[in-house]
Each structure stands twice: as C-alpha cells, then as structure tokens.
Amino acid sequence: MSALSIRPDFSALEIPMDSWSEPFWQAGAQGRVVMPRCITCGTFRWPAGPFCPACHTQDVEWVDAGQARIYSFTVLPVRGADKEAPPDYRVPTLVTFDNAPGVRLVSVLVDAPVDQVAIGAEVTVEWVKGANAVLPVFRLDG
C-alpha cells in the first residue's frame, strides 16, 4: 500500500451553509482555518451552532485553529469499473488543532503515502475548489 492516497474531485460538491457555519467557509476563501470559541467561557463548539454547550452563550469569536494533527483515520479501497484492478485508496482523516481544544475536524487526507499515515502526524489544511466555496482537505507535513 505504498500508493498515494487519492485527491477526490470536489468541483461539483455544493457546500450547505447556515448563519453559524458561514464564517468558517469565508475564512477558508482566504486560506485560513478558524474555529468558533465562546466569547464568555472560551469553550470551542463544533460544528458551529447557536449555543455554547458549556455556558449557553450564543456569540462566538472565530480564532485561528493552529497546527493540525491526525487524531485517527481509516483507509478505504476505491475501485473503478475494473474490479480486478488494484484499488486506489481514500483516507478519511480526523484531526485536532493545537489552538482549538475539543474540536475535531474530519476530511480527506490527499496525496499521502498510505503506509506512512499515523496518529499524531502533523498535517496542513489545503483549500480546494467546490461548487460554491473552497473546502478543506489535509496534506501530510514535511
């Protein structure tokens, strides 16, 4: 499995947004990863939503999430029309952020040597084109 994980084509994917999640996507358009932090108690909430689960404040401030690290992942074989051909691999990956404790973001790890993916590895968020917004995927650092 030394192949590179696939880089899916998201160009037709519509990103549904609501008033609470929109700032995440707007920051992404500028290449930034931000997460919503409660202005009263500092608890992060994810996905973005109307109330802080800890103190029930509504307002948040969006802060830079910091370095992303792999919390867990799986490896999915992806087969084309030829079922006998060796599969490609898609790597759904869950990351944490150094500056947003409690938040876990799941997306896909692209262009990664599949046998070198490991819990704890540092990754960078790359923003790629969707139908109506850019969306975050992960790449291994280094």
Partner 1 sequence: MSAGKAAAAIVGSGSTPYYFRGESAPQTLLELVDKAIFAAVADAGLTIDEVDGLAFYAFGFDTAMIIEQLGLKNVTFAHCVSSFGSGMAGMLDLAAMGVATGRAKTIVCVGATQQVGRRVGQALGSFAASPDNIFHRIAGLQGPGQALALQVRRHMHKYGTRREAFGEVVMSSRANAATRETAFRRKPLTLEEYIASPMLADPLCRLDFCLENDGALAFVVTSAERAADMPQKPVYIAGASQVGTSDLGRAFFWFGQSEDMFTTAGAGPTAERLYALTGYRPEDIDVALIYDHFSPLVIMQLEDYGFCKRGEGGPFVESGAIRMGGTIPVNPHGGHLSDAYVVGMTHIREAVEQLRGVAVNQVPGAKTALVTGGPAPTPMTGAILRNER
**Residues forming the site for partner 1 (CB under 8 A):** 8, 10, 13-18, 20-21, 46-49, 53, 71-77, 90, 92-94, 102-108, 119, 135-137
CB nearer to partner 1: pick between 63 and 94: 94
Q: How far is the CB of 136 from partner 1 (least distance, A)?
A: 8
Give just the sign of the alpha carbon dihedral 24, 64, 7, 74.
Answer: negative
CA–CA dist 92, 6 (Å, integer): 10
Q: CB–CB of 78/104 below 8 Å? A: no
Q: How far is the CB of 37 from partner 1 (least distance, A)?
A: 15
CB nearer to partner 1: pick between 67 and 72: 72
Q: How far is the CB of 107 from partner 1 (least distance, A)?
A: 5
Q: How far is the CB of 61 from partner 1 (least distance, A)?
A: 19
H-run or E-run covering 131: none
CB nearer to partner 1: pick between 63 and 134: 134
Nearest to 100 by CA among 16, 52, 37: 37
Q: Measured in Å, how far apart are the chain's first and last C-alpha atoms?
A: 20
